[in-house]
Structure 1
Amino acid sequence: MDVLSDAISTMRVGRPSVSLTTADPSWSTEVEIFGGARFYVVTTGGMQVTGADEPAVTLAAGDAVLFPYGTAHTLANVTDGTARFLAGAYRLDQVRPHPLFQNLPALVRLLAGADRHRGLQASIDLVRGELDEQMYGRDLALPALLDVLLVHLVRACLADSAGPQATGWCVALDDKVIARSLRAVHEHPADPWTVESLGAHAGLSRAAFARRFTAMVGQPPLTYLTWWRLTTAARLLQATDIPLSAVAQRSGYGSAYAFANAFKREYGISAGRYRQQHRTDRRHSSEG
C-alpha cells in the first residue's frame, strides 16, 4: 500500500461511527476526550467549535473540522435557527501513532469551496446520502464510505498545512524524491536498504538524501526504516499465525535472534508474548 494508506491502516481499530444531528437555537454540548479522531461537517446553519487551548472556530454550511487526537471540545449552534451537522468518530491506536499523524494540528478547520477538496466534499455527500435515505445495504456501505472520508480528511489537512515555509509530512508526501523512498520502504520493508541505496533509489547522493529525508520526515532514514519494519512485524503477529522466523524475514531481519531483540527493545515484550496478548484481546472482543 502507499504511505498514507499504511499509516491509517496501522492505527485504525474497530468500526467508525457517524450520526446526523439536529441542533436547536442555543444548543451546545461538551464533548469529552476520545481515543481516536472526531470530525464534524455542518450541513445546515452554522456551528461554533472550541477546542482545548484552541481559539473558537465558526463553521458555515459545508465546512468541516477534524480533531485528529480526539481532544475535548465544545460545540454550539451560533444561528437563530436550526443547525444540522454530521458527527463522526474513528477509533485509532494512539499507543504507537504513525509519525504522519503526529504532524497534524490538534484542530483542523476545512473550509468548503467549489475548487477546494473536491474528493472530501464528494465523500461527505455520499455519507450524508446514506444517512438521509436509509437505503438497503446501508450497514455495509456506510463504514466503507467513512473509511474513504477519513482518507480525504487527512489529505485535506495535509494539503492545507503545505506552504512555502512548511516542513514535515505535508511536504514529504508531495516531494517526489522523498515520496519515492518512502514508498520503497513501505512496499519492500524486507529489502536490505541502506542510506546509500535509498538515496540512489530516490536519485540523490547519500549525504543529500539523508539531510532531505531527516528534514522532512523528522527522523533519519534508517530510524524510520526500523520503525516501519517493526510496525510491519507487529501487524503480521496480530493478523497471521506464520512462524516468528517468517515474521522476521518478511520484516527485514536476517535472523530470528536479531528480530527478537529488536522487537523486545521497541515494544517492551517478546514477539511471542505480543502475539498471545493480541489473540486474547481479539477473542474477548468477539465474545463481547
Structure 2
Amino acid sequence: MDVFSDVVATMKSGRAKLTRSRYNGRWGSRYGPYPGAGFHVVLEGTCWLVPPSGPAVRMSAGDVVFLPHGSVHGMSSTPDCPLEDLLPALSMTDALVGRVNRHTLPDIAPALDDTLLLCGAYRLRRDVVHPFLRGMPEFLHIPTHRVQHTELHAVIDLLGINTVEDRPGADAALPALLDLLLVYALRIWLEAQCPEESGGWCAALKDPAVGAALDRMHRDPARSWSVRELAESVGLSRTSFAERFTAYVGQSPIAYLTWWRLSLASRLLRETDAPIASVARRVGYTSEYAFAHAFKREYGTPPGSYRRTARETPAPHQDAHAGPEDR
C-alpha cells in the first residue's frame, strides 16, 4: 500500500455512521467534542459552518466539511443563529443511517430554503492515529462547486441516492461510499489546499525524495531498511536525506519506520488471528522477543495482552455527529 492509503486505513476503526437531517426555517445545532473525525455533506440548500474559531463559512449544495479532530462546532441556517445542543445521538451500534430530522426554532419562520445534510463520524483509535492526521487543521472545507473533482461529485451523488431513497442494498453500498468520501476529501486537500510551505506532512508527501522514501517504507515495511539505502534510493547523500526527512516528518527515518511497523502490527493484532511470530515477521522483526520488547515500549503492554484487550473492549465510539433525533 502507498503512504496515503495506509494513513486512511490506520485512522479508521469500524465503519462510519451518519444521519440525514432535513432542516427548515431558522436552525442551529452544536456538535462535538467527540473522539473521532466528523464530516458534513450538504445535499440540498445552503447553511453555515460555525468553526471552533474564526468566522462562519457558507456552505452550498455539494460542499463537504471534514473535522479531523472532533472539535466543537456548529451548523446553522445563518451565521448568527443560536446553536442548540443536540439530543443524545444514535449510538454507533444502531443502524448505519439515522432518520431524516426536522428541526426549526419556534415562532421564527423566515423564507429560508430547506437544507438536507448528511452528518456523520468515523471512529478513530487514538493509539494509532497517523501523524499526518494530527497535523491537519481543525476543519477542511471543500467547496466542490468551485473545483473540478468528478470523483467526489460522483460519490456525493451516490450518497444522496442511497440515503435519501430507501433502496435495496444501501447498507452494503454506504460503507464503501463513505470510505471513498474520506479518501477523495483528503486527497483534494493534500493536492489543492495543503501548502508545501507550511512544512510537516504536507511538504513530506509532496517532496520527491522524502515522499518516495516514505512510499518505500510503507510498501515494504518488513525490509531491513537503512538510512543509507533509503538515501541512495532517492538520490541523496545519507546526511542530506536524514536532515531533510527529519525536518519534514518530525522524526528520523528509522524512528518513523519503527513507529510505522508497530502501528501496522497493532492493526494486525486487532484484526487478524495471525500468530504473534508471524506478525513480527510481517513488520520486519526476525525475533519475536525483539518485537515484543519494542511493542511493549510503544504501547505499554505485550502484543498478546494488547490483542486480548482490543478484542474484549471495542475502540471507543463517539456519537453519530449526526443531528438531533426526530422531534
Q: Does the pair score TM above 0.5?
A: yes
Distance between the aligned counterparts of 1:43 and 1:168, measured in 2?
33
Instruction: Tell me: CA distance 1:278–1:193, structure 2 relative to 1, closer, same or farther (3 Å).
Output: same
Task: Give 1:127's match in structure 2, choosing from 159, 170, 176.
Answer: 159
Q: Which amino acid aligns with 1:206?
A: R
Distance between the aligned counterparts of 1:119 and 1:241, measured in 2?
35
Structure 1: segments with no counterpart, 5+ residues: none
Q: Which moved more, 1:195-204 or 1:48-57?
A: 48-57
Q: Which amino acid aligns with 1:74?
A: G
Tell me the CA shift for residue 116 of structure 1. 3.5
Corresponding residue for residue 22 of structure 1: 22
Is 1:117 equivalent to 2:117 in the alignment? no
Corresponding residue for residue 248 of structure 1: 280
Corresponding residue for residue 77 of structure 2: 77
Corresponding residue for residue 91 of structure 2: none
Q: Which amino acid aligns with 1:259?
A: F
Task: Give 2:194's match in structure 1, choosing from 141, 162, 169.
Answer: 162
Q: What is the SS of the residue equivalent to 2:313? A: helix
1:246-286 CA distance string (max 9 Å, x none): 2222211232222121111100011121122123236xx9x
**Contact 1:38–1:89 under 8 Å retained in 2:** yes
Distance between the aligned counterparts of 2:247 and 2:9, measured in 1?
25
Corresponding residue for residue 45 of structure 1: 45
Corresponding residue for residue 197 of structure 1: 229
Q: Which amino acid aligns with 2:270?
A: Q
1:142-198 CA distance string (max 9 Å, x none): 111111111111112223433352322223223332222112111211111111111
Structure 2: segments with no counterpart, 5+ residues: 79-110, 318-327
Structure 1 segment 177-192 matched on structure 2, within 5 A: 177-192=209-224
Corresponding residue for residue 105 of structure 1: 137
Using CA pairs below 8 Å that are at least 6 residues apart, which structure has the higher relative contact order? 2
**Contact 1:120–1:156 under 8 Å retained in 2:** no
**Contact 1:104–1:157 under 8 Å retained in 2:** no
Corresponding residue for residue 170 of structure 2: 138
Tell me the CA shift for residue 199 of structure 1. 1.0
| Sequence identity (%) | 42
Tell me the CA shift for residue 114 of structure 1. 5.2
Corresponding residue for residue 61 of structure 1: 61
**Contact 2:226–2:254 under 8 Å retained in 1:** yes
Corresponding residue for residue 233 of structure 1: 265
Distance between the aligned counterparts of 2:310 and 2:39, measured in 1?
29
Instruction: Tell me: CA distance 1:115–1:81, structure 2 relative to 1, closer, same or farther (3 Å).
Output: closer
Q: What is the SS of the residue equivalent to 1:227? A: helix
Q: Which moved more, 1:91-100 or 1:75-84?
A: 75-84
Q: Which amino acid aligns with 2:30?
A: E
Instruction: Tell me: CA distance 1:224–1:64, structure 2 relative to 1, closer, same or farther (3 Å).
Output: same
Distance between the aligned counterparts of 1:171 and 1:118, measured in 2?
25
Q: Which amino acid aligns with 2:65?
A: V
Distance between the aligned counterparts of 1:111 and 1:27, measured in 2?
22
Distance between the aligned counterparts of 2:163 and 2:275, measured in 1?
44
Q: Which moved more, 1:55-64 or 1:225-234?
A: 55-64
Q: Which amino acid aligns with 1:274?
A: Y
RMSD value over aligned CA atoms? 2.0
Tell me the CA shift for residue 120 of structure 1. 1.9
Distance between the aligned counterparts of 2:170 and 2:196, measured in 1?
43
**Contact 2:196–2:202 under 8 Å retained in 1:** no
1:197-236 CA distance string (max 9 Å, x none): 1111222211121122222222211111010011121122
Q: What is the SS of the residue equivalent to 1:233? A: helix
Corresponding residue for residue 321 of structure 2: none
Q: Which amino acid aligns with 1:72?
A: V
Q: What is the SS of the residue equivalent to 1:113? A: helix
Tell me the CA shift for residue 97 of structure 1. 1.0
Q: What is the SS of the residue equivalent to 1:241? A: coil
Task: Give 1:276's match in structure 2, choosing from 277, 289, 308.
Answer: 308
Corresponding residue for residue 11 of structure 1: 11
Q: What is the SS of the residue equivalent to 2:29? A: strand
